[in-house]
Structure 1
Amino acid sequence: MKKFLKIGGIILFIGLVVGVIAYFGKKNSQENQVYEVTEPFVGNIEVKAVATGEVKPVETIEIKPNISGVIKSINVSEGQFVEKGQLIAEIRVVPNVANLNSALQSIRAAEIQVNLQQKEFNRAQTLYNQGVIPKADYDNALAAYQNAQQTLRQAEASYKVAQTGVAPGLESYATTRITATTSGVILDIPVEIGNMVQEINNFSTGTTIATMADINKMIFAGKVDEAEVGKLKEGMKINVSIGAIPDKVFTAILDFISPQGVASNGVVQFEIKAPIQLDSKYFVRAGYSANAEVVTSSASNVLLIKTAHVRYDENQKPYVDVLKSGSGSDATYEKKYITLGITDGVNVQVKSGLQKTDKIKIWNTDLEKPNGPGPH
Structure 2
Amino acid sequence: MKKSKLIIIIIGVLLIGCIGYFIFHKEGNTVALITEKPHYGDIATSVTATGKIQPVDTVAVGTQVSGTILKVFVDFNSVVKKGQLLAQIDQSLFLAQVEQINANLQLAKSNLSYQSSNYNRQTELYKAGGISRADFESAKNQYEVARDNVNSVVAQLKSAQKNLSFTNILSPIDGTVLSRKVSEGQTVAASLNTPTLFSIAKDLTKMQVQASVDEADVGNVKVGENASFTVDAFPDDVFTGTVIEVRLQPAISSNVVTYTTIINAPNNALKLKPGMTANIIIYTKEVKNALLISAKAIAFQPDSTLGKQFKIRKVFLGNNKEKKGRINSKNETAPKPQKDSIDHKKAIVWKRVGDSLLPLHIKIGLDDDVNVQILRGITAQDEIITGVNTVKQSKNSKATEQSPFMPKRGGGGSGKK
Q: TM-score range by the shorter chain?
A: 0.5 to 0.7
Structure with the larger strand share: 2
Partner of 2:21: 20
How far does residue 247 in structure 1 lie from its aligned partner after superposition? Answer: 7.0
- Distance, in Å, in 1 between the alignment partners of 2:225 and 2:240 is 11
Change (3 A) 1:375 1:3: closer
Aligned residue identity for 1:67: V
Give the unaligned 5+ runs of structure 2. Answer: 105-110, 112-134, 302-332, 338-346, 395-417
**Alignment pair present for 1:40 and 2:37:** yes
Instruction: Indicate conservation of the 8 Å contact 1:51/1:222, yes or no.
Output: yes
1:129 counterpart residue number:
none
Distance 2:359 2:253 in 1: 44
Equivalent residue in structure 2 for 1:343, among 342, 367, 372: 367
Relative to the length of structure 2, the TM-score reads 0.57
- Where in structure 2 are the equivalents of 1:281-292 lying within 5 Å? 281-282=269-270, 284-292=272-280
Q: Distance in 2 between matches of 1:8 and 1:320?
A: 59
User: Do structure 1's residue 214 and structure 2's residue 202 form an aligned pair?
Assistant: yes
- When the two chains are superposed, the root-mean-square deviation of aligned CA atoms in Å is 4.9
C-alpha distance in 2, partners of 1:315/1:262? Answer: 45
Distance 1:324 1:9 in 2: 53
State the AA in 2 paired with 1:186: V
Unaligned runs of 5+ in 1: 96-102, 111-116, 118-135, 327-331, 367-372
Which residue is 1:126 aligned to?
none
Is 1:51–1:224's contact at 8 Å kept on the other side of the alignment?
yes
Per the alignment, residue 319 of structure 1 pairs with 348
Deviations 1:298-322 (A, max 9, x none): 3344432211232377985243443
Aligned to 1:303: 291
How much does 1:375 deviate? Answer: 8.6
Distance of 2:181 and 2:245 partners within structure 1? 30
Q: Does 1:230 align with 2:254?
A: no
Distance 2:220 2:16 in 1: 66
The offset of 1:240, in angstroms, is 4.9
- 2:247 maps to which residue? 258
Q: Secondary structure at the match of 1:230?
A: helix
**Alignment match, 1:362:** 387
CA deviation profile, 1:129-181 (whole Å, cap 9, x unmatched): xxxxxxx9xxx9xx99xx8xx99xx8xxx9xx9xxxx95xx388343332222
C-alpha displacement at 1:186, in angstroms?
0.8
Normalised by the length of structure 1, the TM-score is 0.62
- Contact conserved, 1:238 with 1:254, CA < 8 A, in 2? yes
Amino acid at match of 2:38: F
**Match for 1:234: what amino acid?**
V
Q: CA distance change for structure 1 residues 334 and 248 in 2, over 3 Å: closer, same or farther?
A: closer
**Which amino acid in the other structure matches residue 357 of structure 1?**
D
Among residues 50, 66, 74, which one is paired with 2:64 in the alignment?
Answer: 66
After TM superposition, list the pairs within 5 Å mapping 1:77-92 onto structure 2. 77-92=75-90
Task: Give, in angstroms, the shift of residue 252 of structure 1.
Answer: 2.9
Larger Rg: 2
Give the corresponding residue for 1:191.
182
Counterpart CA distance in 1 for 2:386 and 2:393 is 13
Letter in 2 for 1:39: E
SS at match of 1:90: strand
Judge conservation of contact 2:243–2:263 (CA < 8 Å) in 1. yes
What is the one-letter code of the residue matched to 1:298? E
For the structure 1 residues 360 and 311, does the alpha-carbon distance in structure 2 shift closer, same or farther, using more than 3 Å as the test? closer
> Conserved in 2, the CA contact under 8 Å of 1:64 and 1:206?
yes
* Count of matched residue pairs: 308
Percent identity over the alignment? 25
Query: Aligned partners of 1:19 and 1:264: how far apart in 2?
Result: 71
Partner SS, residue 304 of structure 1: strand
Listed one character per residue, the Cα deviations across residues 59-112 of structure 1 (whole Å, up to 9, x for unaligned) are 1111122233443332211111222232222335999xxxxxxx9xx99xx9xx
